[in-house]
Structure 1
Amino acid sequence: MEGYIMFFLLVTVSAIHIPTSVIEPSVDEVYVTEGDTATLVCSVTWPGRLIVIWTRVSDGNPLTIGTLVYTYDERISIQHSRKNDWNLLIRNVKLYDAGKYVCQVNGKGIFATGTVLLKVNVSAIPIPTPAFKPSAEEVYVTEGDTATLVCSVKWPGRLFVIWIRNFGVQLLTVEESVVIPDSRISIQHATGANDWNLVIKDVKPDDAGKYVCEVYGYSIRKMVLLQVNAVNESIHFIKTPSDVWVKKGQFARFECAATGRSTPTISWSKDDADDFPAAQERRMHKMSDSDEFFIMDVTVNDAGVYTCTATNADGSISTDVNLFVSYDGEDAKST
Structure 2
Amino acid sequence: MDAVVGTTFLLPCFYTCTISSVNSTLVEWFRITDEREERIYQYVNRESSGWPLQATWVGDVSKCDASIIISDIQTHDSGRYCCEVTVFPQNIQDIGYLQLNVHQRTELAIVTPEAKEATVGSTALLSCSYTCTITGINHTLVEWFRTIDGHDEKVYKITHRKRSLRPLQVTWVGNDSTCDASITISNIQTHDAGRYRCEVTIYRYDKPSMQDIGYLQLNVHNEPEPTDATPTPTSTPAPVPSPVAGIVLGVILVIALLVIVAGVVWYCRRRRLRLCQTREPAASVEETHELNQNGQDGGARSGQGALAEQGDEPNNEGERETSI
Normalising by structure 2, we get a TM-score of 0.32
Higher Cα Rg, which structure? 2
Greater fraction helix? 2
Higher relative contact order (CA 8 A, sep 6+): 2
Greater fraction strand? 1
